[in-house]
Amino acid sequence: MSAENKQVISREGSTDIHAQTAGSKAVKYILITLSVVFLFVMLVMPLITVIYEAFRKGLVPYLEAVSDPDTISALLLTLEATVIAVVINTVFGLFAAWAISKFRFHGKKLLVTLIDLPVTVSPIIAGLIFVLTFGRQSAIYPFLESIDFMVVYAVPGIILATVFVTFPFISREILPVLEAQGTDEEEAAALMGTKGFTIFRRITLPHIKWALLYGIVLCAARAMGEFGAVSVLSGHLRGKTVTLPLQVEILFGDNKFMPAFAVSSILVVLAIVILIVRSIVEYIGKRRGEK
């Protein structure tokens, strides 16, 4: 999944020649058909279902559903959480990747595993740990209460959960590139007395910018769609702590199926836009990488 690896993708021409020699036509078409059918049934059909259900009652009810004030406020909250998560994770990703790739220290493997951990932690547990840390059970709750700062069942909790589930996304993308690049150029620059930030801007950043962009796109995609962790922390206060995925759940529970799918369709469109952006980023990055 790393962009670095794709930058060094083999030239299409040579692989194709190779494909002709190595695989018979029949195998090729069987495998392609298998792939297309698999992706169609598993990925495309669910999308079609969403769009079909969303427009089943026509355009006007659809527009009414997506312009509902609660839906709008959910959209805004989702965007807010996504932007903050991307900013925090970008800062983190850059510093962490720099620290891990440019220096040697003990416990590096543990550090990397800890950073990756949020990906495999169940969203429910992700929500639970923040409830335990900042909720009424927690030792710091009286302090938070005294400064009137609500974390759990309020917007900060939702942001925390979103940052948590997307935590490693950007560092994971940058790290392999930085590691492959090695430290020679930076060392040379440092020996010539260049300042740290200048080294980063002039030498490191050009190498990682496509990986960084790719990580940001993935991070944004995942941040927008987080459901489990946010669900535990939200309290479902309508119009206040409800994100788009939660709004889908609420509408579903309200027996408003058409609106639920209509709101889902916003998320589907956002997902597709992000994927297109991702493909463009990857494509340009690949071409730049080859030159």
Partner 1 sequence: MKGTFFKTAAASLALITTIFAAASCANASASNAAETSGTASEAGKNYSIINVSYDPTRELYAAYNEAFKKHWESEHDSTVEITQSHGGSGKQALEVANGNPADVVTLALEYDVKAVEDAGLIEPGWVSEFPLDSSPYTSTIVFLVRKGNPKNILDWGDLARDDVGIITPNPKTSGGARWNHLAAWAWAQREYNNDETKVLDYIKTLYSHVLVLDSGARGATNSFVENKQGDVLLAWENEAFLSLKEYPDEYEIVTPSISILAQPSVAIVDKVVDKNGTREVATEYLNYLYSEEAQRIAGENFYRPSNETVLAEFSDTFDLNINLVTINDFGGWDEAFAKHFADGGLFDQIYEQD
Partner 2 sequence: MKNNKRIIPGFGISMGVTLALLSIMVVIPLASLVVFTAKMDFSDIIKVITRPRVVASFEVTLLTAFIASVINAVMGVILAWVLVRYNFPGKRILDGMIELPFALPTAVAGISLTSLYADSGWIGGIFAQMGIKIAYTRIGITIALIFIGIPFVVRTVQPVLEKLDPLYEEAAGILGASRTRTFRKVILPELRPAIFTGFGLAFGRCLGEYGSVVFIAGNQPYETEITPLIIMSELQEYDYSSATAIALVMLAAAFLILFLVNLIQIRNSKILKGGH
* CB-count exposure of residue 70 (10 Å: 0-12, 13-18, 19+): middle
Q: Enumerate residues 6+ apart whose C-beta is below 8 A from 62.
A: 54, 55, 258, 262, 265
Nearest CB to partner 2, comparing residues 63 and 280: 280
Distance CA 167, CA 129 (A): 15
Span interacting with partner 2, options 64-72, 142-150, 180-188, 205-213, rule CB under 8 A: 180-188
Give the shortest CB-160-to-partner 2 separation in angstroms.
7
Considering only residues 96, 158, 177, 281, which one is a binding residue for partner 2 as defined by CB under 8 A?
A: 96
CA 6-12-14 angle, to 5 degrees, is 120
Nearest CB to partner 1, comparing residues 187 and 254: 254
Give the shortest CB-86-to-partner 2 separation in angstroms.
14
Span interacting with partner 2, options 63-71, 105-113, 142-150, 233-241, rule CB under 8 A: 105-113
Q: Is 98 in the site for partner 1 (CB under 8 A)?
A: no
Q: Is 279 in the site for partner 2 (CB under 8 A)?
A: yes
Span interacting with partner 1, options 8-16, 22-30, 48-56, 143-151, rule CB under 8 A: 143-151
CB 222 within 8 A of CB 165: yes
Nearest CB to partner 1, comparing residues 34 and 87: 87
* CB-count exposure of residue 136 (10 Å: 0-12, 13-18, 19+): exposed
Considering only residues 105, 146, 148, 291, which one is a binding residue for partner 2 as defined by CB under 8 A?
A: 105
Radius of gyration of the chain (CA): 23
CA 238, 242, 246, 247: dihedral to nearest 10 degrees?
Answer: 50
Which residue ranges make up the site for partner 1 (CB under 8 A)? 80, 84, 88, 131, 135-137, 141, 147-156, 159, 235-240, 250, 252-255, 257
